[in-house]
């Protein structure tokens, strides 16, 4: 049985030459790939920062301790890998304890504060590469956070394909 190296030498198996800095994946698709993950981690960073403390003290009701909430957010930050993980943090399940439900409601409220007042600064002063895409989806993220039951997609695939076709013409 011939090995890969012997096939390469004979020329029957050729590797595709890559052009540095060029990708076959469209720019619009690459720009929106990690938006939900980026926003989720930025919201968690904000919720655990000193800047959020005045907002959290106003939003905290009942028997929630600030330190416990910060510990909860620090724990869930590592679990955000995409849209469905972020959505599960926002939706209150039947099997969640009453304290976790309160944490999720508080997390939704602090997420709204972040997107309304701090997200533009985060986009333009942070390491975000696709600034225009993150800015464009800011209001979609706000709507999805307010109603996470409908948070099943970020981009409309049919509309985005039409827009991509228009840009190619």
d(CA 50, CA 126): 17
Record the pTM.
0.76
Q: Is the Cβ–Cβ distance between 60 and 99 less than 8 Å?
A: no
The answer, yes or no, to whether residue 157 has pLDDT greater than 80, is no
Positive/negative CA dihedral, 60, 61, 66, 71:
negative
Task: For 95-149, write each residue's pLDDT tens digit.
Answer: 999 999 999 999 999 999 999 999 999 999 988 888 998 999 899 899 989 988 8
Give the rounded distance of the alpha carbon of 75 from its chain centre: 16
């Amino acid at each position: 049985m011939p090995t890969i190296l012997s096939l390469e030498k004979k020329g029957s198996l050729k590797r595709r030459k890559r052009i540095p800095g060029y990708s076959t994946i469209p720019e619009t698709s690459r720009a929106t790939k990690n938006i939900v993950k980026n926003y989720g981690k930025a919201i968690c960073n904000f919720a655990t920062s000193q800047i959020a403390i005045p907002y959290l003290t106003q939003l905290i009701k009942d028997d929630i301790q600030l330190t416990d909430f910060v510990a909860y957010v620090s724990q869930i930050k590592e679990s955000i890998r995409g849209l469905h993980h972020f959505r599960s943090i926002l939706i209150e399940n039947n099997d969640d304890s009453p304290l976790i439900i309160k944490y999720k409601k508080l997390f939704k409220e602090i997420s709204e504060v972040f997107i309304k007042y701090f997200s533009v600064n985060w986009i333009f002063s942070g390491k975000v590469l696709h600034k225009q895409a993150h800015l464009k989806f800011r209001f979609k993220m706000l709507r999805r956070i307010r109603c996470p039951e409908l948070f099943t997609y970020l981009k409309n695939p049919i509309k985005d394909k039409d827009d991509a076709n228009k840009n190619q013409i």
